[in-house]
């Protein structure tokens, strides 16, 4: 009886040893594979940063040499920017944030495969040593037009620096003045009728005033209208515009904006 007990307990010990050995080998192999993935294959675990203002707007930034930083914004159903062009040999630090739901961000043919979780900024780094058109796809189902959600990175020998399409329009100083001073309450920027004439395409045009005179909208006349609107009422409109005591600098910025507003 005693012998039998001793025999079975030594069998238990032998089994435990085998299990322990097996577990140790398994852990060692797992760690080895992680190390291989990290250093051997260059797969990086995406890092997550807390949300911060600098990432809420898509942007491109040049650092030293061919090092660039690109901030992508993901939203149903597209990315901003839509297309980034960089020279061959570039390294991109990529940051992605979502404006709405969870999206995916995978750059085909590279190690970048991120999960874009709302409320966080995900980050990865990628080096392009071959020219080509690298498709960016959203690989997380995010609604009806999920399959259309893509962008691209074009790596080319023929460009010297980074450029991008589909970045949000940075509001010009002139447009900001028009907004801040309340001009846009009466003057539209898109050609729609308003209390005052639309500003779209107005630069350089000949305008007829209620007194029958005609003036081309140039630097001088813009200044005249802004400072003395009561004397310069465009035909067909009411004399409602208040005089705006703007500085020369501000008028210049409005002029620059109007020139571009075609």
Residue keyed to tokens 């005693």? 2
HEC per residue, 56-73: CCCEEEECCCCEEEEEEE
Considering the complex, what minimum distance in angstroms separates the CB of residue 220 from ligand CUA? 51
Considering the complex, what minimum distance in angstroms separates the CB of residue 102 from ligand CUA? 8
Cβ-based nearer residue to ligand CUA, 55 or 128: 55
Cβ neighbours around 96 below 10 Å, total: 27
Considering the complex, what minimum distance in angstroms separates the CB of residue 46 from ligand CUA? 16
Q: Give residues 10-29 in contact with ligand CUA (rule: CB under 6 A).
A: none
Give the C-alpha separation, 258 to 262, whole Å.
8
Cβ-based nearer residue to ligand CUA, 117 or 244: 117
Considering the complex, what minimum distance in angstroms separates the CB of residue 111 from ligand CUA? 20
Rg of the Cα atoms in the chain: 31
Cβ-based nearer residue to ligand CUA, 76 or 227: 76
CB 49 within 8 A of CB 121: yes
Considering the complex, what minimum distance in angstroms separates the CB of residue 146 from ligand CUA? 4
Cβ-based nearer residue to ligand CUA, 79 or 134: 79
For residue 134, give both structure tokens. 């690298």
Cβ-based nearer residue to ligand CUA, 26 or 141: 141
Residue 73 engages ligand CUA in binding (rule: CB under 6 A): no
Q: Cβ contacts of residue 157 below 8 Å, gap of 6+?
A: 87, 88, 131
Q: Give residues 115-154 in contact with ligand CUA (rule: CB under 6 A).
A: 138, 140-142, 146, 149
Q: Give residues 165-224 in contact with ligand CUA (rule: CB under 6 A).
A: none
Give the C-alpha separation, 36 to 55, whole Å.
32
Torsion 51-56-61-67 (CA) sign:
positive
CB 89 within 8 A of CB 66: yes
Considering the complex, what minimum distance in angstroms separates the CB of residue 149 from ligand CUA? 4
Residue 103 engages ligand CUA in binding (rule: CB under 6 A): yes
Site for ligand CUA, rule CB under 6 A? 77, 103, 138, 140-142, 146, 149
């Amino acid at each position: 009886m005693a012998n039998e007990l001793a025999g079975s307990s030594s069998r238990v010990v032998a089994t435990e040893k085998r299990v322990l050995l097996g577990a140790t080998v398994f852990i060692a192999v797992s760690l080895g594979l992680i190390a291989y993935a990290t250093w051997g294959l260059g797969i990086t675990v995406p890092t997550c940063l807390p949300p911060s203002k600098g990432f809420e707007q898509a942007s491109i930034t040049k650092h030293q040499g061919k090092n660039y930083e690109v901030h992508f914004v993901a939203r149903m159903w597209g990315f901003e920017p839509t297309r980034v062009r960089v020279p061959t040999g570039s390294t991109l630090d990529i940051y992605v944030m979502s404006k709405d739901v969870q999206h995916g961000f995978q750059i085909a043919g590279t190690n970048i495969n991120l999960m874009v979780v709302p409320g966080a900024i995900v980050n990865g780094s990628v080096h392009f040593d071959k020219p080509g058109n690298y498709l960016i796809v959203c690989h997380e189902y995010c609604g009806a037009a999920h399959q259309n959600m893509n962008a691209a990175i074009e790596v080319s020998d023929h460009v010297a620096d980074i450029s991008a399409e589909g970045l949000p329009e940075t509001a010009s100083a002139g447009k900001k003045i028009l907004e801040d001073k309340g001009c846009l309450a009466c003057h539209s920027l898109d050609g729609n009728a308003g209390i005052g004439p639309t500003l779209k395409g107005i630069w350089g045009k000949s305008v007829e005033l209620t007194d029958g005179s005609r003036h081309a909208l140039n630097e001088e006349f813009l200044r005249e209208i802004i400072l003395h609107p009561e004397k310069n009422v465009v035909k067909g409109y009411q004399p409602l515009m208040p005089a705006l005591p703007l500085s020369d600098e501000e008028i210049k910025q409005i002029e620059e904006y109007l020139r571009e507003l075609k």
